């Protein structure tokens, strides 16, 4: 077969790429000697993609929650539920909808080809009826109510409501009870036909699998005709935040807090991956487990092991956030803001930068032992116009000057705070 082989000698990894005639891209990361195999079939379509222009020129505006609704419905086929079918084949299937992607995948040790064929088949063949769509509204409605009572979920989306004025990233991935009530079979098919088209999708396999097997299976199973990529449209988002503070009371034993900064810089490809990496180093330097700030707050009893930080950056939105449990969220927020100001003023230290960069590179290399992680990261990077293996070059090239530039341009912006207090 006519596929491309790329060797990353520094990592000891080999990537196989295949361009299907339909426009679908397929990847294999071969892991000789590994028993576990993962296959993923994904579309560049998530919860934020509710306004789009179809290839025929028609502009669609659909209710919140449709991408997640479709994810649920694809598992239900006329001859049974796909979860049961995969389980009978000894594999573990799942799916997820994020803000910008929907992915269907399985892991297995045996019967890879049979499971792989099932994955490629059912994702291309939605079975939607008026009856099963109405039934699903009840199921998803229960899920929405569950998330409304989830302190961690509400904390996070309250943070996004603080950060964003117009961008749909602030809307719950599952939608609302009102929005899912507007969903019907016809709208689901419209969105499926717009986004589940080969040139808007990717197949990723990771494990000890022969490339000929993977790509000949793709060749034989991909029957969908490409309808062209839809044009995603998002509202104008100001640099200013929507709110600086939001609180809610729920059943928690200790207050929860989440802080964040909106990143207005929009990049893609290698630059996006590089920016994500620099932001992760900055957060680790300011508030990571080895930082003076973390240890001071921890030993003062103001934070505990629940404290985490995260970088979220895509082509249409970006933010950094951090938080956890605290007996005094407002005091912790003040301490963190002061530490950020002091770090911006003096910049990151070269020794600290080098240590964290090497540590993060080590974490990246360890992820290459996980077929699951490889498949997900390869998918995300492909949709963001880069490759996961480019991280190796980024860790080599990333320097203190660039990282301090990111620090001073972003961490001088408004920091918002979301808090959940006990009832």
CA–CA separation, 266 vs 318, rounded Å?
Answer: 8
Mean pLDDT score of the chain: 96
Structural contact between residues 202 and 383, judged by C-beta atoms closer than 8 angstroms: yes
Query: Looking at the chain, which residues constitute the CATH 3.30.830.10 domain(s)?
Result: 4-232, 245-422
pLDDT at 1: 77
Lowest mean pLDDT among 13-17, 226-230, 234-238: 226-230
Per-residue pLDDT averaged across 386-400, rounded? 97
Q: Work out the angle at residue 407's Cα, subtended by the Cα atoms of residues 406 and 408, and round it to the nearest 5 degrees.
A: 95
Q: Is residue 55 pLDDT above 90, yes or no?
A: no
Cα distances from 396 to residues 156, 255, 354, in angstroms, run 33, 41, 11
CATH number of 245-422: 3.30.830.10
pLDDT at 224: 84
Q: What is the pLDDT of residues 371-380, one digit of tens each?
A: 999 999 999 9
Q: What percent of the chain has pLDDT over 90?
A: 97
Cα distances from 48 to residues 66, 127, 280, 346, in angstroms, run 10, 24, 24, 38
Cα distances from 306 to residues 207, 250, 323, in angstroms, run 33, 18, 8
Q: What is the pLDDT of residues 249-288, one digit of tens each?
A: 999 999 999 999 999 999 999 999 999 999 999 999 999 9
> Which CATH superfamily includes the segment(s) 4-232?
Metalloenzyme, LuxS/M16 peptidase-like (3.30.830.10)
Q: What is the pLDDT of residues 317-369, one digit of tens each?
A: 999 999 999 999 999 999 999 999 999 999 999 999 999 999 999 999 999 99
Q: Is residue 86 pLDDT above 90, yes or no?
A: yes
Nearest to 204 by CA among 44, 367, 40, 6: 40
Q: What does the block give as tokens for 347?
A: 């910049």
Cα distances from 159 to residues 13, 116, 164, 367, in angstroms, run 39, 39, 9, 29
CA–CA separation, 200 vs 353, rounded Å?
Answer: 38
Enumerate the active-site residues: 71
């Amino acid at each position: 077969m006519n596929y491309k082989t790329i060797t990353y000698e520094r990592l000891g990894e080999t990537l196989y790429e295949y361009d299907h005639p339909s426009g679908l891209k397929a990847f294999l990361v071969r892991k000789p000697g590994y028993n576990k195999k993962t296959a993923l079939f994904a579309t560049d379509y998530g919860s934020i993609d509710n306004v789009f222009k179809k290839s025929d020129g028609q502009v669609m505006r659909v209710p919140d929650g449709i991408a997640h609704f479709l994810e649920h419905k694809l598992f239900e086929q006329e001859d049974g539920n796909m979860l049961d079918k995969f389980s009978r084949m000894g594999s573990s299937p799942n799916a997820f909808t994020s803000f910008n992607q929907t992915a269907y995948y399985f892991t297995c040790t045996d019967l890879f080809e049979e499971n792989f064929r099932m994955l490629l088949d059912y994702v291309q063949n939605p079975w939607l009826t008026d009856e099963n769509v109405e039934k699903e509204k009840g199921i998803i409605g229960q899920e929405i109510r569950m998330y409304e009572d989830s302190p961690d979920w509400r904390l996070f989306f309250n943070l996004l409501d603080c950060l964003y004025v117009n961008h749909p990233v602030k809307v719950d991935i599952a939608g609302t009870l009102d929005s899912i009530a507007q969903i019907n079979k016809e709208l689901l098919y419209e969105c499926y036909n717009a986004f589940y088209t080969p040139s808007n999708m990717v197949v990723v396999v990771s494990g000890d699998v022969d490339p000929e097997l993977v790509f000949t299976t793709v060749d034989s199973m991909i029957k969908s005709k490409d309808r062209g990529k839809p044009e995603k449209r998002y509202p104008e988002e100001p640099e200013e935040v929507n709110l600086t503070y939001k609180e809610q009371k729920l059943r928690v034993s200790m207050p929860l807090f989440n802080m964040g900064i909106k990143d207005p810089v929009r990049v893609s490809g290698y630059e996006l991956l590089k920016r994500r990496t620099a932001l992760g180093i900055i957060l680790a330097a300011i508030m990571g487990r080895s930082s003076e700030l973390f240890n001071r707050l921890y030993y003062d009893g103001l934070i505990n092991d629940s404290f985490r930080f995260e970088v979220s950056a895509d082509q249409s939105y970006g933010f950094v956030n951090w938080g956890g449990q605290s007996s005094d969220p407002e005091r912790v927020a003040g301490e963190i803001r002061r530490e950020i100001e002091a770090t911006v003023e003096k910049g990151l230290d070269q020794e600290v930068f080098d240590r964290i960069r090497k540590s993060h590179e080590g974490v990246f290399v360890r992820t290459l032992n996980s077929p699951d992680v490889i498949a997900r990261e390869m998918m995300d990077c492909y949709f963001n116009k880069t490759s996961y293996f480019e991280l190796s070059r980024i860790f080599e090239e990333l320097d203190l000057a660039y990282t301090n530039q990111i620090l001073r341009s972003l961490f001088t912006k408004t920091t918002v705070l979301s808090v959940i207090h006990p009832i």
